[in-house]
Chains A and B, each alone.
Chain A
């Protein structure tokens, strides 16, 4: 006979004396009561998530400013530059109905999204932007152009803004443009594009002067104001 398992008698003799048993029982009861009391006080901690000011808008017509390309962590900046689109029409072709390509002094060829050369300057004007807002279903933001009644020269002669038309594209682009082709109205506010929420939108505009009338000689200018309106 070698090592033997403890007999029931041996187990009984190992129990504490009655006083110790009572103490242990009391401690167990106290522990259970403490646990119950703790469970009663158990509370979930609450943190309030507050989308304080998540509405963000950015519109760039011509040159703009980013700290870097977006994919490298760039952030949008303010840029107050006013770019021009212009054409000089030779007297030999003036009013002959052959549209004249316009050029811009904008140097914005690269998309600030990834640095890709999206537009070709000076023949195209970059327009792009985004608006960000919370919520699942959100109406698109609208981009409008506020157009004067006419372009004017120093002597008060005028040229209808509707003589200027634009097409829309982008290098390597396909599908519908967010800022489609159009023609200026003769005074008023016209919609020139829209942006779905939380998307990056960009197009390149190629302007032409219709050249189907003979205005007085002069330099005609006008300023169009582009506005992004988010819902």
Chain B
């Protein structure tokens, strides 16, 4: 009896120790099925005229993107999916988006990520249409500039 109890508590301790490193495995998801509905993001001035001080000269542009994320490997499991906008040229960029309901709307600064889905994964693909608005300082951009983002999943 004493030996069984000792084995149980040893197993419990190992289980507790074992769980911690398995918590945060982040996987970049396959979004190769994602398509932009417009060829580019045409930037315009956020406000028609500048300020007296010259501050706040922002350019904004909108685009619609049909997102299709392959989550087949996590089918019938639960997951937390994030939209990640890495820090990249031309510098700080912010983006906000609205969705049609499958993913969460939100906003993001470059160099961070934002939760767009949490829950059971019941279909091989998660699809939604997102309307993005990108904002960037006019001081940073003088010519067309590619901006990349991706979706990633935290495995639990």
A96 CA / B73 CA spacing, docked (Å): 96
Interface window among B100-108, B111-119, B141-149: B141-149
* Contact A45 B34, beta carbon cutoff 8 Å: yes
CB proximity to B under 8 Å, residues A1-57: 4-8, 31, 34-35, 38-39, 41-52, 54, 56
Which residue from A6, A42, A46, A196 sits with its C-beta under 8 Å from B30? Answer: A42
Q: CB of A176 within 8 A of chain B? A: no
What distance in Å separates the Cβ of B27 from its nearest Cβ neighbour in chain A? 6
Q: CB of A75 within 8 A of chain B? A: yes
Which residue from B7, B139, B147 sits with its C-beta under 8 Å from A47? Answer: B147
Residue of B57, B93, B134, B136 with most partner-chain A CB within 10 A: B57
Q: CB of A198 within 8 A of chain B? A: yes
Which B-chain residue is minimally distant from A8 (CB atoms)? B7
Q: CB of A226 within 8 A of chain B? A: no
Which B-chain residue is minimally distant from A11 (CB atoms)? B11
A69 CA / B32 CA spacing, docked (Å): 47
Interface window among A81-89, A101-109, A131-139, A186-194: A131-139
CB proximity to A under 8 Å, residues B118-154: 132, 134, 136, 138-150
Residue of A50, A51, A133, A135 with most partner-chain B CB within 10 A: A51
* Contact A34 B8, beta carbon cutoff 8 Å: no
CB proximity to A under 8 Å, residues B29-57: 29-32, 34, 36, 39-45, 47-54, 57
Residue of B44, B48, B59 with most partner-chain A CB within 10 A: B48
* Contact B138 A76, beta carbon cutoff 8 Å: no
Interface of B is mostly: mixed
Residues of A within 8 A of B148 (CB): 44-47
* Contact A5 B40, beta carbon cutoff 8 Å: no
* Contact A42 B50, beta carbon cutoff 8 Å: no
Q: CB of B65 within 8 A of chain A? A: yes
Residues of A within 8 A of B86 (CB): 44
* Contact A47 B4, beta carbon cutoff 8 Å: no
* Contact B150 A45, beta carbon cutoff 8 Å: yes
Which residue from A7, A51, A133 sits with its C-beta under 8 Å from B4? Answer: A7
Which residue from B27, B28, B29, B141 sits with its C-beta under 8 Å from A134? Answer: B141
Residue of A46, A47, A198 with most partner-chain B CB within 10 A: A47
Which A-chain residue is minimally distant from B29 (CB atoms)? A42
A58 CA / B45 CA spacing, docked (Å): 14
* Contact A134 B150, beta carbon cutoff 8 Å: no
Residues of A within 8 A of B45 (CB): 54, 56, 132
A48 CA / B143 CA spacing, docked (Å): 10
Residues of A within 8 A of B43 (CB): 49-52, 54
Which residue from A7, A47, A74, A132 sits with its C-beta under 8 Å from B63? Answer: A47
Residues of A within 8 A of B145 (CB): 48-50
Residues of B within 8 A of A4 (CB): 4
Residues of B within 8 A of A56 (CB): 45, 48
A34 CA / B120 CA spacing, docked (Å): 18
Could you name 14 residue pairs across A and B whose Cβ atoms are closer than 8 Å? Answer: A4-B4, A34-B72, A46-B146, A47-B132, A49-B134, A51-B141, A52-B43, A54-B43, A58-B49, A70-B49, A74-B48, A132-B49, A136-B140, A200-B49
Known: A34-B73, A199-B50. 20 other contacts (CB 8 A): A8-B4, A38-B30, A43-B31, A44-B28, A44-B150, A45-B34, A47-B41, A47-B63, A48-B146, A49-B41, A49-B144, A49-B145, A50-B40, A51-B141, A52-B44, A54-B44, A56-B45, A75-B49, A113-B52, A198-B138
